[in-house]
Amino acid sequence: MREHTSKGSQSAIVYQSLYLMNLLLLPGLSFLFLLWLFIKNKQHKGWQRIHLYRAMQLSLLAGIFIAAIPLVIILIVENIQASLMVMIVYVVTLHAAFVLIGMLNIARAMAKKLPLF
């Protein structure tokens, strides 16, 4: 029984690590691997499943808030120089916030606790 909880703990750490890799190292590839794990491991129970769902949800939110929204705003706004300046500050700030949330969640996975976000 002890091996099962250790394996579950490792899987929660892997899910949160893939979320951080999606933000920092390999954006597209890490997301696809996390999506594959999400589809494959939906049957998990307990806090490991919650870590899987939270990592997937945060990856989707990060993609929307960091990539899609700034692109739409830049395309809509007429003054491109001002909008670029604001979008750079916006993207850097949100990216840092999502990375900090990921670091908090991976620390919680290592402590075998539920993610906060």
Which pair of structure tokens corresponds to residue 53? 């769902």
Whole-model pTM?
Answer: 0.87
Residue 117 in any domain: the answer is no
With 90 as the cut, is the pLDDT of residue 21 above it? yes
Q: Which of 92, 23, 10, 91 is nearest to 60 (CA)?
A: 23
Residue 81 in any domain: the answer is yes
55 burial level (CB within 10 Å; 0-12, 13-18, 19+):
buried
With 70 as the cut, is the pLDDT of residue 24 above it? yes
Residue 115 in any domain: the answer is no
With 50 as the cut, is the pLDDT of residue 4 above it? no
Residue 23 in any domain: the answer is yes
pLDDT of residue 7: 63
Are the CB atoms for 31 and 22 separated by under 8 Å? yes
Q: How far apart are CA 56 and CA 33, in angstroms?
A: 11
Structure confidence by residue, pLDDT tens digits, 74-100: 888 888 888 888 889 999 999 999 999
Structure confidence by residue, pLDDT tens digits, 34-71: 999 999 988 878 888 999 999 999 999 999 999 999 98
Residue 116 in any domain: the answer is no
Q: Any idea which residue has 């951080």 for tokens?
A: 20
Domain count, the chain: 1
Residue 51 in any domain: the answer is yes
Q: How far apart are CA 51 and CA 34, in angstroms?
A: 11
| Domain boundaries, position 24 | 2-110
Q: Any idea which residue has 């997937």 for tokens?
A: 56
Residue 78 in any domain: the answer is yes
User: CA 115 → CA 4, 71, 86, 96, 103, distances in Å?
Assistant: 20, 30, 31, 18, 10
Residue 73 in any domain: the answer is yes
